[in-house]
Structure 1
């Protein structure tokens, strides 16, 4: 599906001309939407959850390339970026230009990586089959800019924490006027069937179990029978039909091993618990999850279920700043996960996270491997190094990471904090500028590069690293071009 912000932004797309939207134009639209999402307070870059999603996503992309679903042109031009949202609603949505939104609510309810791969494979197929561009090319020219403004206004009103009665009434009015647009931009039944078929092929090609697709469809079907209480926006944008259900059940049954049961895996149960807690369910719910680890329900649970409950209890206590309880739960979790390497790693990282929150960086550092190069452990090690005022060991690893992942804004900002702790202001400012480039905020990036140039020219600034100065000058010119192009696009959109 496309969420309201995407539908609204579609109306300010520069002229597409006749025929299907080009890949470049679709990427441009996707960047415009992503820029707004990056600024949203609910945008979440949690290294543990992002690592989980990225592992599945990269395998699906590789499978799509192997099957020929992802063409070299789209592979090069599109972003292929997951945008994680802190939202309890169970949803994932394809966006223009290779972006995809995933809610924490979805991670919290899927029972396996295979179920998650089913959803992501489906949405990926909407993108690779150019369903979004087909819809926008057909309909966008017929939708007035006023409707887009209404939808954006509705979003702003809905997200406000202090709406007045008139604001609410205006939001309802806007929603009613935009309802017709929803039907025009939802994917057609043919597109849904195509995404089901291709997505199933991609997820099984990637090595995920076909019964994961059947299990996910059963979950959606059950929610649909309950007439959906509103927590499944995915159902409203991807309505189930008897044809889709029968088709997926048939495909799953044709695959070897499709009848095998899908046991709950321990590390997945812990990831799902993390997603639930980070969705901000409220203090009362967090307290219930802490207490749940001492109930008879916990005692009756399988090892995987117990690990999930202990993880939720430890992280909930940490969110409540009850560090004593958090440590106790984390210790129980480490005992429960001993012998299961992926789960034991997650338990150890959580224990380090709790020590950092409690203001004990030395204890956190003792739990971490500073030489590890996986993103979650590297980021925790960097935070521990900053808090312990010993940044030097982590500068090199983060610098190497951004060399191969230049669009990782979070690592750029953390690297900037390491440079600040080392009293290297020029490098710190440049890292902050690069972080802004990564989130497509070119104006802010230009201002930071200019601040770096001003610092170099300041009287009494001391010796300047000419290599760093050359990089800053080059990047400043490149970002100036991006700012001008962005302004030109905005002017086109306003005509």
Structure 2
């Protein structure tokens, strides 16, 4: 038998990388790029946020319009000429009118300049017949109030507090921030799958991540909306102090049904009330600065 000449020498070990590892690294690098490149300071809050440049306000508005049209097809609007619908619309119009000035003031307090995304909004306000105690403002300025909110709110001041909160979500582009975060989470999920992580372990980790990161993140947005919404209501000459009894009534309605705060996307009613009480001196300053002696508020029929 002839000896294999190659067997006289030790075999060289390759220095190549696993294709799977290369893919994971590329995904990780892309995710890091998207995360850092999306960072910006939000002028009205002074806080760092992440909004992917590919998600434009125009795209948000288009998605908001589509969602609004779907809601309007399913829900029953109250006659827009009815007294109650007109009163709700008047509350919204007063809030919309002061948005530019409030944004400028808040941005000035944090050393920034507002981007005024509302300039591209096409506002629309509808009252929807439903027992749901809720309201919303979609990107692009599409607002809806459910009739179930009216008896809980009891007055125009409280409705203004709720609508100020919902409008703020659209102004601060909270939807775009959530979309940015969700896209990055999808990249992380893809990287985990490619790396061969056990699916059960991956689900457990991401489930834990949802409790420890996503929910506090959502609660932070709610707190931001509470603060700026309160300033909008005050600047529009509504009584911001009505926010406290409003949330006390909300808490009574939620008693026994609300999840614990750590497992919720919203702060508890108690936390909200404490935060609103802390913010009340500033809200009253906004009311005095923007309204002077104008008492503003009015009653809203609950019928």
Q: Give the shorter-chain TM-score range.
A: 0.5 to 0.7
Deviations 1:405-428 (A, max 9, x none): xxxxxxxxxxxxxxxxxxxxxxxx
Instruction: Give the 3 Å change call, closer, same or farther, for CA 79–106 of structure 1 in structure 2.
Output: same
Q: Distance in 2 between matches of 1:207 and 1:135?
A: 32
Structure 2 unaligned residues grouped into runs of 5+: 1-50, 107-113, 187-209, 288-296
Tell me, yes or no, if structure 1 residue 54 matches structure 2 residue 89. Answer: yes
- Displacement of 1:45 in angstroms is 3.8
Say which of 257, 263, 275 aligns to 1:247: 275
2:68–2:142 Cα contact (<8 Å) kept: yes
Q: Distance in 2 between matches of 1:203 and 1:272?
A: 20
Question: Which structure has the higher relative contact order (CA within 8 Å, separation 6+)?
Answer: 2
Q: Distance in 2 between matches of 1:110 and 1:102?
A: 11
Deviations 1:229-266 (A, max 9, x none): 89xxxxx7634254432121233366389xxxxxx97x
Say which of 94, 97, 113 aligns to 2:137: 94
Q: What are the residue-to-residue correspondences of 1:379-458 with 2, within 5 Å?
A: none
Q: Which has the higher strand share?
A: 2
Aligned to 1:220: 250
Aligned to 2:64: 30
> Superposition RMSD on alpha carbons, in Å?
3.5
Q: Distance in 1 between matches of 2:146 and 2:118?
A: 24
- Displacement of 1:112 in angstroms is 1.0
- Displacement of 1:213 in angstroms is 1.2
Deviations 1:411-463 (A, max 9, x none): xxxxxxxxxxxxxxxxxxxxxxxxxxxxxxxxxxxxxxxxxxxxxxxxxxxxx
State the SS of the aligned residue for 1:272.
Answer: coil
Instruction: Give the 3 Å change call, closer, same or farther, for CA 18–249 of structure 1 in structure 2.
Output: closer
Q: How many residues align?
A: 206
State the SS of the aligned residue for 1:83.
Answer: strand
Q: What are the residue-to-residue correspondences of 1:36-435 with 2, within 5 Å?
A: 36-48=70-82, 49-68=84-103, 73-139=116-182, 188-224=218-254, 226-228=255-257, 238-240=266-268, 242-252=270-280, 255=284, 268=300, 271-273=301-303
Q: Which has the higher helix share?
A: 1
- Displacement of 1:105 in angstroms is 0.5
Q: Which runs of 4+ in 1 moved over 3 A?
A: 17-20, 43-46, 69-73, 140-143, 183-187, 236-239, 253-257
TM-score (norm. length: structure 2): 0.58
1:23–1:78 Cα contact (<8 Å) kept: no
Instruction: Give the 3 Å change call, closer, same or farther, for CA 55–72 of structure 1 in structure 2.
Output: farther
Asked which structure has the greater CA Rg, the reply is 2
1:96–1:133 Cα contact (<8 Å) kept: no
1:20–1:137 Cα contact (<8 Å) kept: no
Q: Distance in 2 between matches of 1:205 and 1:197?
A: 12
State the SS of the aligned residue for 1:194.
Answer: helix
Instruction: Give the 3 Å change call, closer, same or farther, for CA 114–73 of structure 1 in structure 2.
Output: closer
- Displacement of 1:142 in angstroms is 5.7
Q: Distance in 2 between matches of 1:191 and 1:22?
A: 19
* Higher deviation after alignment, 108-117 or 62-71: 62-71
Q: Distance in 1 between matches of 2:278 and 2:246?
A: 14
* Higher deviation after alignment, 24-33 or 78-87: 78-87
- Displacement of 1:73 in angstroms is 4.8
Structure 1 unaligned residues grouped into runs of 5+: 1-16, 144-179, 231-235, 258-263, 274-495
1:135–1:185 Cα contact (<8 Å) kept: no
Instruction: Give the 3 Å change call, closer, same or farther, for CA 133–91 of structure 1 in structure 2.
Output: same
